[in-house]
Amino acid sequence: MGSTRLPGKVMLDLGGVTVLARVVERLRRAHLVGELVIATTTDPADDVIVRECESLGVQTFRGAEKDVLDRYYQAALHFNAEAVVRITSDCPLIDPEITDNVIRVFLDQRPDYASNALQRTYPRGLDTEAIAFEALERTWRLQLAAMDCRHTGGPEIHSLGLRMSGKQRGLWLARCAGPDGSASRTPGNQQPCLPEGTPGRLVAGEPVRKS
């Protein structure tokens, strides 16, 4: 609710329902989404988001307002997630087929991180990111000073201790980097982050207030 450019944007009316409801409605069409959770903040101003989620039958998690990395990590812990797929809740035109494609590549290739937004080929509003829990936990523990805690992925990918490992079907993949900068897992010795065929849990985060 704390956006300075458009306060309360996820609760604005869009064709008779809220923007947040549109996002939820579209993501429910994705076949590979295991569970939908709205990761909002503990700010009392976001109580309205929790009430909206209750009316939509969607689970919520409340965490830090400024530190989105910590909020995602704590949400993943709370829901025992083996992976997190990130969709921001101010994207009412999110395409469930594109979200499924990112999850499918993530499951097939077993990277630590997959995204369709590192080098933009899709229009804004269709961004989908998937990160294995172990990579998210590693990132959370590193707490690098250079990390911009308003975002969990995107341009800060190299600050997460991850190394780009290739491109598949238009999606950029990354693996955890070892102490020497090399990939900690290679296709030959890689241990899967998820059981075969298991969809990741999805967390759609309420955008935080921009300074």
Residue 19 has pLDDT above 50, yes or no: yes
d(CA 150, CA 109): 28
Domain annotation for the chain: domains and CATH numbers: 9-205 (3.90.550)
**pTM attached to this predicted model:** 0.74
Characterize the bridge pairing of strands 83-88 and 129-132: antiparallel
Residue 44 has pLDDT above 50, yes or no: yes
Given pLDDT bands bounded at 50, 70 and 90, which one contains residue 5?
low
Beta bridge partners of 114: 130, 173
